[in-house]
Amino acid sequence: MVEAKKLFIKTYGCQMNVYDSERMVEAMGAEGYVTTETVEDADMVLLNTCHIREKASEKLYSDLGRLRAFKEAKPEMKIGVAGCVAQAEGDEIMRRMPLVDLVVGPQSYHRLPEMNRRLLAGGKAIDTEFPAEDKFDHLPERKALRGPSAFLTVQEGCDKFCAFCVVPYTRGAEVSRPADRLLAEARGLVEKGVKEITLLGQNVNAYHGAGAASDGGGDWGLARLVRALARIDGLERIRYTTSHPNDMEDDLIAAHGDEPKLMPYLHLPVQSGSDRILKAMNRKHGRDAYFRMIERVRAARPDILLSSDFIVGFPGETDADFADTLDLIRAVGFGQSYSFKYSARPGTPAAEKPGVEAGVADARLQAVQALLLEQQRAIQAGMVGREVAVLYEKAGRMAGQMVGKSDHLHAVHVTDAAGKPGDLVRVRIVESGPNSLGGQRV
């Protein structure tokens, strides 16, 4: 019996990269690879990169440097770089790091089996094109499921061209997958035991996919897709991320109020509370428009938990602009959020502008994070005494404990000796920790 080849894959960045890594594992499974948790055992190492934050390239080259010793000890090991850094800097990676055998962009990873065969023939392989064919048509059936929750990419790319963002250049233009294929993939996931699906996209609420004639045809927005998914027996929960305020259409807001399977959680990045900075970022919305959007969402679903992204220290940001951001945060109230100090990404319009002094940006980031943490802990404390639904994902570290996610995406540690992954149970929250809740099964 031929021993299976082993693949080690490291994933950087967002949920879309997690999904892409799972699909790469499946693609390489067709070539006889199984995953391993250790580099030492690997016949191939894939680094699936993210290019959003500063020093993404430096992090990649640092990791590649650490792999040099493994490659020297095992010369037949193949090393590949995938994802957005690969897309942006493929030729430079090959030139700078001769130990790299393979470079593949995020729109071309369905070609990994073919590229692997070129490696086995003694060559190297690079593919950072935006192929005309749909990669999803060429990927094998979903198999690499980690538990009762799964990601499903419905939309890729971005047409927004925010001044700070590289996504339009590394992921390409906005493209939506056909609705019938998404429904078929979702049904397949449910048949494998999945109970919660998170719909993914760079601008997921910009989804507009073609519907099959059997499903009524026409152009499907995200709300129509959510409602169709909700009719799948066995699928208990639906989420989506990441959204853009300009794509929150009326029917999607309405779906939050009248579709029980759509969870009461919305990640809606605003980036800044200053109209002047939002204009400089090319966000194409203002703070008042964001406030009105939040009011409409909360009117549809009063218990919804809101999350957002914030960038501080954007070029030209003054103390007054930063005060506007703090004011917006206080006015809205966020249960979970992400905040970053602005980092210039080569090739973006903002990269050409002088940044805010580093010490000032650091202080602003600390202030934003302190306020967001205060809001998060207050909302978590307000959950104590309430009953919530929790989908178990794994056993906890303590005996008789399960860990899962609530409707509002809180991590919950539950006292339940009889529980198992995949159970969806009612839980009474009894305590709030720094980043999670504690509960008892009702």
| Length of the chain, in residues | 442
Check whether 295 is labelled as a binding-site residue. no
Are the CB atoms for 192 and 240 separated by under 8 Å?
no
321: alpha, beta or left? (left if phi > 0; alpha if psi -120 to 50): alpha
Q: Is 358 marked as a binding-site residue? A: no
Q: Is 84 annotated as a binding residue?
A: yes
Angle formed by the axes of helices 250-258 and 222-230, to 10°?
A: 20
**Known binder of ligand: residue 184?**
no
Tokens of 442: 């009702």
Token duo for residue 359: 């010490």
The count of C-alpha atoms lying within 13 angstroms of the C-alpha of 38, restricted to the half-sphere facing its C-beta, is 2
User: Long-range contacts of range 86-92, CB-CB < 8 Å, 24 or more positions apart?
Assistant: 86/49, 86/128, 87/51, 87/128, 87/170, 87/171, 88/51, 88/166, 88/169, 88/170, 88/347, 89/57, 90/126, 90/128, 91/126
Residue 14 in marked binding region: yes
H or E segment and range at residue 392:
strand 387-395
Q: Is 158 annotated as a binding residue?
A: yes
Say if residues 306 and 335 touch (Cβ distance below 8 Å). Answer: yes
> Binding site, residues?
14, 50, 84, 158, 162, 165
Pick out the residues of the known binding site for [4Fe-4S] cluster: 14, 50, 84, 158, 162, 165
